[in-house]
Amino acid sequence: MSATGLEVFDRTLHTTNTWLKEIMEALGCDRHVAWHVLGSVLRALRDRVPLELTAHLGAELPLLVRGLLYDRWHPATAPERYRSLDEFLKRIEDDLRSTRPTAPQDAARIVFTVLSRHLPEGQVEKVRHALPEDIRALWPVRASRQERTRVEVEFDETRLTREA
């Protein structure tokens, strides 16, 4: 039974909630902060990688998360050529000013981990290699797709119980 009446909405809500829960657990924050962290890191990443790569990345994201990636985007000015880790982290920090204090380096590392866990390995590698080396260093070695998070397991168990 569909919760929203549209399978595509159910799927994007489920996936987005999974990603947010992973960020919440890693940062010890609430859903609101996790949403802002996800958006801030995605926008800093988007503004740094080539236009075509941003489009390919967007195609892999859940529908709701894709909206975060494209929020406030001006493709005519992309990509920006900030080269240093400090500039990249400053972009994240500035975007997070309206939420509770969050270390931009932690935010980037956690979102990169979530992306690595859920996106196709080839896409992740293309994005990683488009970044300067010091920014790329924040991106963890690929998390195995076989390593399901506690959040994913709990969701599946809840869904199975409801369906039974």
Q: What is the pLDDT of residue 83?
A: 78
**Average pLDDT rounded to a whole number, residues 59-67:** 94
Tokens 């399978």 belong to: 7
CA distance linking residue 121 with residue 109, whole number of Å = 17
Domains of the chain listed by start with CATH number? 7-163 (1.10.490.110)
Which of 107, 110, 106, 136 is closest to 124 using CA atoms? 136
Burial of 164 (0-12, 13-18, 19+ CB in 10 A): exposed
**Average pLDDT rounded to a whole number, residues 44-62:** 94
CA distance linking residue 151 with residue 130, whole number of Å = 30
6 against 41, higher pLDDT: 41
**140 confidence band (pLDDT: 50, 70, 90):** confident
- What value does the mean pLDDT of the chain take? 85
Contacts of 59 (CB under 8 A, 6+ apart): none
Percent pLDDT > 70 in the chain is 84
3-state secondary structure at position 21:
helix
For 18, other C-beta atoms within 10 Å of its C-beta total 20
- Quote the tokens at residue 135: 């920014």
Q: What is the pLDDT of residue 1?
A: 55
The 10s digit of each residue's pLDDT in 3-29 is 777 788 889 899 999 999 999 999 999
What dihedral do alpha carbons 21, 22, 27, 29 form, nearest 10°? 0
Tokens 């000015």 belong to: 77
**Average pLDDT rounded to a whole number, residues 141-158:** 50
CA distance linking residue 108 with residue 135, whole number of Å = 9
